[in-house]
Amino acid sequence: METILVVDDEEFLRNELLRILGEEYEVRGVGTGADALAAVAGAGADLVLLDLNLPDCHGIHVLREIKARAPETLVIVITGYGSVESAVESLKLGAYDFIKKPFKADAIKLIVRLALETQRLRRRVRVLREREIGQGPTVVAESVSMKEVVRQAREVARHPETTVLVTGESGTGKEVVARLIHDESERSQGPFLEINCAAIPAALLESELFGHEAGAFTDARRARDGLLEAAAGGTVFLDEVGDMDLGLQAKVLRFLETRKIRRIGGVRDAEVDVRVIAATNQSLREAIDRRVFREDLYYRLNVFPIRVPPLRERPDDVLPLAQYFLDAFCRRFHKPTPELSPEARRCLSAYAWPGNVREVRNLMERLAITCARPSVWEEDLPEELRGVGLREPPAWMLPPEGVELERLEADLARSLIGQALDRSGGNVTQAARLLGLPRGTLRHRMESLGLRVDEGPGAP
């Protein structure tokens, strides 16, 4: 069970937080900064709820010490004074988020749930990083569907002669699945060679696969091994096999049936021990109907089919993938990894990701380069991602059974709007931009929630 440390000198508030959170987590409470630092140094905590107004020191000092001694511990700052300056300073020092007194029980439950989900993601990424050392690409599989893909890949890996057909949309990670099959098989010590059948003209593709003899064609000054020979004892990955020329398909079919190749310009066959893994983002059955793909080759390739689902069908993988890539790129660029703020994670989770894993990877590389702050906020994301979480909440943000949905939505909206207003210094126009909403829509929403709309003199 995850542990939470409540640091507040008000005994009533400590007991109330113990009551609210105690059913789901192990919660302890202390009343001073010194006791807080002793508790973190001793038993430790996954999350600290830290009041800024403590009797023996300022909460900012406690936050700074916690981050120095236990940097992986998440801290949510609680303030009863609504001090924007202190809240901003706490975020700069590495606080996960802040919340103002008084707060609703549902609101504190939600922000704690989000914070601890971040902690779990960090641990998953650490495990993935350890697996990555000395290996090829890592399969991030937190969703049920991707765990099934990994199970199938490991199952077929035990049969080193079996041909595999990996299907899925562009960018879903078909190559990573193929590499996993190779790495988990008896062929792992042999080469893993790949070729994109759509990127090479048909005449050159045949030479790349089967090799050629000296003088077989213009500029063929010396004999050359093809990939199938060069990968002997290992694996050849034929990506986008659906784009292969019909004439070459016949030769690939012959190889799969006989395990023998003949170089271009050659007169002798050579037996080659290699596993073939093919991949495509097309429907090969439709290609067969259009007479652009051989049906007999399809059945030779489709011995063990694995479908990699698009990212929109496995939303549980989005945040682990984002954290994994962000961490990897920051290490590559020798930069500290920024935190994914709750609002950024909300947007990432709710976005449809038409470019699949490749799109996540590209975005995290961009953020690793451009983000110079301790946290990634919604305004750091591309325009198409901003505000999507407000329109379509992800599954992990749905309320538990028995909670009044309308009340929870109102409390969540108040919390998000309040945080946006704090960050903007009370400027409704800037807060609307942070939330990805038109200014008029935000004002109307504030009025419906009973929130005061007052931007001060001279406000637009």
323-335 pLDDT, tens per residue? 999 998 998 888 8
Q: Is the pLDDT assigned to residue 458 strictly greater than 80?
A: no
Question: What one-character DSSP code corresponds to residue 357?
Answer: H
238 with 117, same domain: the answer is no
**Final residue in a domain of this structure, among 70, 92, 127:** 127
Contact 283, 81 (CB under 8 A): no
In terms of average pLDDT, the best of 120-129, 360-369, 438-447 is 360-369
Q: Are 317 and 146 in contact (CB under 8 A)?
A: yes
Backbone angles phi, psi at 269, to 5 degrees: -90, 150
Q: With 80 as the cut, is the pLDDT of residue 175 above it?
A: yes
The set of residues, in sequence order, having a beta carbon less than 8 Å from that of 228 and lying 6+ positions away, is 209, 210, 211, 236, 255, 261, 272, 274
Four-residue CA torsion sign, 352, 176, 134, 148: positive
Q: pLDDT tens digits, residue range 397-419?
A: 445 555 455 665 677 777 788 87
Predicted TM-score (pTM) above 0.85: no
In a domain, 134, yes or no: no
Could you list the residue range(s) of the whole structural domain that residue 254 is in?
A: 144-311
Q: Does residue 454 belong to any structural domain of this protein?
A: no
Residue 155 is inside which H or E element, if any? helix 144-157
First to last CA, the chain: 49
346 lies in some domain: yes
Q: How many domains does the chain have?
A: 4
Q: Is pLDDT of 172 > 80?
A: yes
Note whether residue 179 is domain-resident.
yes
Residue with the larger pLDDT of the pair 75 and 216:
75
Answer whether residue 139 is part of any domain: no
Residue 312's pLDDT is what? 92
Residue finishing a domain among 391, 406, 425 = 391
Computed over every residue of the chain, the mean pLDDT equals: 84
Q: Same domain for 335 and 429?
A: no
Return the SS3 of 162.
Answer: coil
In a domain, 84, yes or no: yes
Which residues does 16 contact at the CB level (< 8 Å), separation at least 6? none
Give the type of residue at 423.
R
